[in-house]
């Protein structure tokens, strides 16, 4: 028995196994995947350009100042004006960016065969998202501009805490109140696979008594899953594409990965990391926005950062910063994803399932980027790295008892 397992371990070549998996995506399919993902690099740049251009239009033609003046006419309550300002701002900004959204989120997705939605269905989801913005964004602006008015010297600190608080609340309420607006969630049918997923959850002290399946196939061909929510809203979910397109071993591998995010506390760690990012952003805004206004504010009809009319300027500066921070932001997320990969391999013990599903994900993610390319543009480990780590895990655990 021992000699057999040692021979098996000696005969398994993780690099050869990796290359065998990688060879299953080649030719036109690989070229298509690479083209889709590499095109996304340019979308980052052009997305920032679109944001800056829209902000310039809203400032240059005095629209932002007019919206702020309108809010001042409607109410004498200064704390309420940012919320009123947010209404035309959200609507007009959505209209100005609509051609870009149609191309990036609808046309391009159909060009690469990733979308299942008609234009009417896509538009319906966009309208739902717009309505959610019209509810949440005014509340956020009220809070941020209140601290800008009351604490001119330290508003960057209070704004950071406000955005972080909104982020945490969003993580709690999204699984229960927001995602059901876009997809139907149903309990997973009873059976061995459901029992195995819940068994993994309970073994790792995840307080879930059900697994939910959501109908993402009505929108996309992508596969996904998550352990979302905080406290009483925690739920384990997977989309129907994952269930229908993959084997039980692949499903377990994905769910082990997603459970890793919960067990390893990535929600809280990301909250801390992105709070630091928000802090940097608001310090930059606090320092730079008054300088822009002192130079151009008279032309725009905006003289103070405390005026909600300064919002397009703040958004433009933020978009440039986030573009420049792309490698940092991606590294934060990619580090967590790599840790969740390792956790998932240990939890599910399905290295071939993980490798196989990594190949499916590589239908729309470039599978073999260069190291600098992966560092800058990838928010997940590349498919090649994931497959290789799975095969290395398999080689290391060939002697384990079944």
pLDDT in tens, 114-157: 999 999 999 999 999 999 999 999 999 999 999 999 999 999 99
- Is residue 148 packed enough to be buried (19+ CB in 10 Å), middle (13-18) or exposed (0-12)? buried
Residue 257 assigned as binding residue? yes
Torsion of CA 209, 211, 214, 220, to 10 degrees: 140
CB 153 within 8 A of CB 147: no
Residue 266 assigned as binding residue? no
CB 64 within 8 A of CB 89: yes
Give the pLDDT confidence score for residue 11 in this predicted structure.
Answer: 83
Query: What is the residue extent of each domain of the chain?
Result: 31-185+260-391
Pairing of strands 185-187, 225-228: unpaired
CA of residue 206 relative to chain centroid, distance: 22
Single pTM value for the model: 0.93
The question of whether 195 is a catalytic residue gets the answer no
DSSP element (H, E) containing 185: strand 185-187
Q: What secondary structure does DSSP assign to 383-402, as a single string?
A: HHHHHHHHHHHHHHTTTS--
Whole-angstrom Cα distance, residue 97 to residue 27?
35
pLDDT bracket for residue 224 (50, 70, 90): very high
| Closest to 114 in 3D by CA, of 224, 21, 257, 214 | 224
Torsion of CA 135, 138, 139, 145, to 10 degrees: 170
Q: Does position 4 have pLDDT exceeding 90, yes or no?
A: no
Whole-angstrom Cα distance, residue 248 to residue 233?
26
CB 184 within 8 A of CB 214: yes
pLDDT in tens, 58-69: 999 999 999 999
Q: How many Cβ atoms sit within 10 Å of the Cβ of residue 336?
A: 21
Of 58, 109, 250, 258, the catalytic one is: 258
Residue 110 assigned as binding residue? no
Of 250, 341, 350, 363, the catalytic one is: 341
Give the pLDDT confidence score for residue 8 in this predicted structure.
Answer: 52
pLDDT bracket for residue 1 (50, 70, 90): very low
Helix ranges restricted to H, 97-218? 98-101, 108-111, 119-150, 155-173, 192-203
CB 218 within 8 A of CB 185: no
């Amino acid at each position: 028995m021992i000699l057999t397992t040692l021979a098996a371990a000696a005969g398994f070549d993780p690099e050869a196994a990796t290359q065998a998996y990688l060879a299953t995506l080649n030719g036109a399919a690989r070229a298509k995947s690479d083209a889709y993902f590499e095109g996304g690099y340019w979308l980052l740049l052009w997305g920032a350009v679109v944001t800056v251009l829209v902000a310039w239009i809203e400032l240059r033609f005095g629209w932002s100042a007019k919206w702020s003046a309108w809010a001042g006419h409607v109410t004498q309550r200064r704390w309420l004006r940012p919320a009123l300002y947010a209404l035309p701002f959200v609507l007009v900004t959505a209209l100005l960016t609509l051609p870009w959204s149609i191309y990036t989120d609808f046309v391009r997705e159909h060009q690469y065969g990733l979308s299942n939605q008609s234009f009417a269905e896509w538009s319906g989801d966009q309208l739902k998202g717009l309505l959610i913005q019209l509810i949440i964004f005014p509340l956020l602006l009220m809070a941020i501009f209140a601290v800008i008015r009351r604490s001119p010297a330290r508003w960057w600190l209070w704004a950071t805490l406000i955005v972080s608080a909104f982020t945490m609340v969003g993580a709690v309420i999204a699984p229960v109140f927001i995602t059901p607006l876009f997809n139907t969630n149903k309990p997973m049918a009873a059976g061995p696979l459901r029992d195995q997923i819940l068994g993994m959850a309970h073994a790792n002290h995840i307080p879930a008594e059900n697994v939910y399946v959501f109908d993402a196939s009505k929108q996309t061909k992508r596969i996904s899953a998550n352990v979302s929510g905080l406290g009483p809203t925690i739920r384990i979910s997977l989309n129907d594409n994952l269930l229908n397109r993959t084997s039980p071993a692949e499903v377990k591998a994905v769910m082990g990965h997603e459970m890793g995010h919960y067990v390893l506390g990535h929600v809280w760690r990301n909250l801390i990391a992105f709070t630091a990012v928000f802090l940097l952003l608001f310090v930059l805004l606090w320092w730079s926005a008054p300088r822009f206004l002192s130079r151009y504010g008279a032309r725009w009809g905006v003289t103070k950062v405390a005026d909600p009319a300064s919002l397009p300027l703040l958004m433009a500066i933020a978009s440039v910063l986030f573009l420049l921070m792309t490698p940092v932001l991606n590294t934060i997320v990619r580090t967590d994803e790599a840790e969740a990969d390792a956790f998932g391999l240990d939890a599910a013990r399905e290295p071939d399932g993980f490798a196989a599903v990594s190949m499916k994900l590589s239908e729309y993610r470039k599978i073999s980027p260069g190291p600098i390319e992966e560092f800058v543009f990838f928010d997940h480990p590349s498919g090649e790295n994931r497959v290789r780590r799975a095969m290395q895990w398999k080689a290391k655990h060939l002697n384990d008892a079944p």
